[in-house]
A and B are shown apart, each in its own frame.
Chain A
Amino acid sequence: MRAPFVLFALCWSLSGAAGPDSCIACHSAIEEGKGPASIIKNDIHISHGLSCADCHGGDRTSEDPEVSMNKAKGFKGRPARTEIPKFCGACHSNPDYMRKFAPRERVDQLELYQTSVHGKRLASGDIKVATCIDCHSVHDIRAVKDSMSPVHPLRVADTCSHCHSDKERMAQYKIPTNQYAEYRTSVHWQAMTKRGDLSAPSCASCHGNHGAKPPQVESISEVCGTCHVLFEQLYNRSPHQAVFSTAGGGGGCVVCHSNHGIHTPDTGMLAGPSSICAPCHDAGSPQSNTAVQMAGWINGLDSAIKHSETVLAEAEKSGMEISEAQVRLLDGRENLVKARLALHAMQPEQMRIPIDAGMTVARETLQAGQAALRERDFRRYGLGVSVILIAIAILAIRGLIRRIESNSDTAQDSAD
């Protein structure tokens, strides 16, 4: 009951000041530190000179609530959840308005949202799905590139997981909730967090952000192919493309590489006990043999390169200069990458080219490393020889000294 008095007193005291936003002034007094007016200073809209009234309507210059929050005069109040997208879209879908603040900013977010699963469900009355404010926050909305924004590349997955890892919430939609956990084990997450590579994909990169929807089976390789271009091209020309698009359970790259928990591939996927070719291709079939053969080539090249690396490292530890060989070895690693790429065509002849080139590099660098080790041994051997010769020389000088001094002794004796 005290509030109206405080309000009145505050507004009265502020009435003399020019310019202050009455919405923020009064509401921060009421909120006692918790609430929109207290956090709005972090909001990007404020930094562009906008404030409460620009979204919620009303008159910010008047301290009289009758005037400032007058519905007849345009005050919108708090929108219903189903109205939120249109509420934001009033400005964000208006190109003429957005051009005043950020001419290059997109204005199709609302349109995209309405095609998304979230948008469609919201339109049918489901208020439990995500709206603008669930991802972007509200009243303290930050720019995407602000690292504290919930939609900063490093935080997107976490934001999506607030709902999508919640079993109870997802139960009614029958959507699994393991995606975030799997994603956190993936190479893409590693790239982002350990290497700081913000170009690595997270949820929105493959699913879209505003128009979020899982990519359909036939488009999965296209989606992966936005970055992994050559893999997509080879896969599309391979026999798998036709087969995987009609098979169930994911399709495209996902069949072998999974969708969220994408790990560094290894030759164990081709041959051996955990082979993923085995479920479709019987052992002994031409395809299975091809897989085994290609796995063998890749393993062979990999171990040849590792062997060269070991020898070169040993040479370097002994102080030999092998920087040229180490640079050449980078070529070898690149050939290994190309071989792994070539395998997506599922045609052994295509893989032979990088494999052969890589083996040549491995051979040459191994020779260089072994030559360096031989040189090291030669130096130590030469050192040993020199030290022995020096020891002989020292003995010779000692002998000479002895001879001179014994002679002079005997000379003295005989002189006496």
Chain B
Amino acid sequence: MQMTDPLENPSQDRRTAISWLLGGGVAASLASFFYPVARFLNPPKVSEVSVNEVDAGKVQDLKPNSGKIVKFGNKPALLVRVNDTEWKAFSAVCTHLNCTVQYQEARREIWCACHNGTYDLEGRVTSGPPPKPLEELAVKIRGEEVVISKKV
């Protein structure tokens, strides 16, 4: 079979060049599929998917008869240490107009500064405009850690 001499045939030259270019394009297109896949396979730093449980600090951080606001997912939660052994937690979103509630030590109740709504330590509305009780959350003590989780 006659072999065309590449040096003598410029169109053959060009064809080879185009072939390489096109082949490179195909390879690149395949790379552009597998690059995202490879990145996908690498798990992200934060591997937890959703918030069902939140660390709310250490037991000794909160004095008896006091409360603090803790981030629960993307909503605020109110953790109340009622006495040495009893803990309560609620969603801190007031059911009236969504202000953040706070714990009132002197009156031992939960209070909303916006329109003077009050809740008792069961989350029930005791006075003011809120129409519904506060959603209660579960509190577990694991050794020294206080953990707030959704009530199942």
In the complex, A touching B (Cβ < 8 A): yes
B25 at the interface (CB under 8 A from A): yes
* A364 smallest CB distance to B (angstroms): 14
* B101 smallest CB distance to A (angstroms): 12
CB closest chain-A residue, reference B114: A337
A319 at the interface (CB under 8 A from B): no
Contact with B along A214-249 (1 / 0, CB 8 A): 000000000000111110000000000000000000
Q: Which residues of A sit under 8 angstroms from B114, Cβ to Cβ?
A: 337
Known: A382-B32, A393-B25. 5 other contacts (CB 8 A): A197-B96, A197-B129, A227-B128, A327-B75, A337-B114
Q: Identify which of B18, B32, B115 contacts A399 (C-beta below 8 A).
A: B18
- Contact of B116 with A392 in the complex, beta carbons under 8 Å: no
Q: Which residues of A sit under 8 angstroms from B33, Cβ to Cβ?
A: 386
Q: Jot down 25 A-B pairs with beta carbons below 8 A, ordered by A.
A: A197-B129, A199-B115, A199-B128, A200-B129, A226-B116, A227-B116, A228-B115, A229-B113, A230-B113, A323-B74, A327-B75, A330-B98, A337-B99, A386-B29, A386-B33, A390-B29, A392-B25, A392-B29, A393-B22, A393-B25, A393-B29, A396-B25, A396-B26, A399-B19, A400-B22
Q: Which residues of B sit under 8 angstroms from A324, Cβ to Cβ?
A: 74
Contact with A along B35-79 (1 / 0, CB 8 A): 000000000000000000000000000000000000000110000
Name the residue among A226, A228, A392 with the largest chain B CB count within 10 angstroms. Answer: A392
Name the residue among A200, A323, A396 with the largest chain B CB count within 10 angstroms. Answer: A396
* A343 smallest CB distance to B (angstroms): 15
Q: How large is the interface on B (under 10, 10 to 19, 20 to 34, 35 or more residues)?
A: 20 to 34
- With known contacts A227-B128, A392-B29, A334–B99 Cβ distance under 8 A: yes
- Contact of A392 with B26 in the complex, beta carbons under 8 Å: yes
Q: How large is the interface on A (under 10, 10 to 19, 20 to 34, 35 or more residues)?
A: 20 to 34
In the complex, the number of residue pairs spanning A and B with C-beta atoms less than 8 Å apart equals 58
Q: Which residues of B sit under 8 angstroms from A393, Cβ to Cβ?
A: 22, 25-26, 29
Contact with B along A389-415 (1 / 0, CB 8 A): 110110111011000000000000000
Q: Identify which of B25, B96, B100, B129 contacts A389 (C-beta below 8 A).
A: B25
